[in-house]
Amino acid sequence: MADESQYELDEETLFLVSQTFKALSDPTRIRILHLLFEEELSVNKIAETLDLNQSNVSHQLRFLKNLRLVKYRRDGKTIYYSQDDEHVMKILQQSIDHATHH
Amino acid sequence: MADESQYELDEETLFLVSQTFKALSDPTRIRILHLLFEEELSVNKIAETLDLNQSNVSHQLRFLKNLRLVKYRRDGKTIYYSQDDEHVMKILQQSIDHATHH
DNA sequence: TATATATATGAACATATATTCATATTATAA
DNA sequence: TTATAATATGAATATATGTTCATATATATA
């Protein structure tokens, strides 16, 4: 892979990269994604587990969904969310490990 | 390394991880760190290269320095900043590559 | 000493963001 | 149909953030 650090970053790249890291810059979203390391979960289950407002969870999930970091499937009245970006989840996992062991 | 995703993240870890990603969530800071991939640079040089206000660059560098993502050395009137966290710089590099090639 | 240069700092401001509240939407069950 | 449950949505609000401006600090040079 060519070294590209000598070039100015174009706006599209800057926006995409910054948005992705913004998703990971909020404790609530980190907690939600951390839960989704393991398994798919419903909105209510996430809200209960993390002791968060249902509306808050829904808003954050929309944010993550727009960035395609999570996906969902409906089963009756319940909507199950799960992770949808291996690369980002791996980065998050690594960073949590890094922070935990220091 | 044990799988820790079943545990709740403690506040300290949450704060550290979110702060680190917050550093990478702003286009200006990404551009600055991207410049520092290659070499150490003075505040003015960074400001000129990126066409940014000197004060703005100084504020952002302080932010990055507080998180120990950059370090500095003084040479006369000039202060040279350089990267100081391989792990974070690697994550940034990977994410830029990832975004560029999609 | 006085002047110039490089950088840092704090206040001010406009914008962005996270959260809550009230309510709408969607699907199921009675 | 009506009632209930799960989720989504939009407005409101308080706080956080990025940037600029004016100025302070630190160093070098005349």
Closest residue to A20, CB basis, from B6, B14, B95: B95
pLDDT at B5 over 70: no
Find tokens 């302080």 and name the residue. Answer: B62
Q: What are phi and psi of A82, to 5 degrees?
A: -150, 165
Instruction: Judge whether A16 lies within some domain.
Output: no
Instruction: Judge whether B81 lies within some domain.
Output: yes
Per-residue pLDDT tens over the stretch B28-76: 999 999 999 999 999 999 999 999 999 999 999 999 999 999 999 999 9
Find tokens 């370090």 and name the residue. Answer: B71
Sign of CA pseudo-dihedral A50, A53, A54, A60: negative
Q: Which pLDDT belongs to residue B4?
A: 60
In terms of Cα–Cα distance, which of B4, B36, B32, B35 is closest to B17? Answer: B4
Instruction: Judge whether A90 lies within some domain.
Output: yes
pLDDT confidence band for A1 (50 / 70 / 90): very low
Boundaries of domain holding B87: 25-96
Q: CB-based contacts of B15: which residues, under 8 Å, 6+ apart?
A: A27
Instruction: Judge whether B18 lies within some domain.
Output: no
Instruction: Judge whether A67 lies within some domain.
Output: yes
Residues 19-48 of A with CB under 7 A from strand C: 22, 25-29
CATH code assigned at B32: 1.10.10.10
Instruction: Judge whether B82 lies within some domain.
Output: yes
To the nearest whole angstrom, how far is the Cα of B26 from the nearest Cα of chain A? 6
Quick check: A28 contacting B, CB < 8 Å? no
Instruction: Judge whether B13 lies within some domain.
Output: no
Number of domains comprising chain A: 1
pLDDT at B101 over 70: yes
Instruction: Judge whether A71 lies within some domain.
Output: yes
Strand C contacted by B40 CB (< 7 A): no
Q: Which pLDDT belongs to residue B8?
A: 86
Q: Which nucleotide is nearest to B52 (CA to C1')?
A: D19
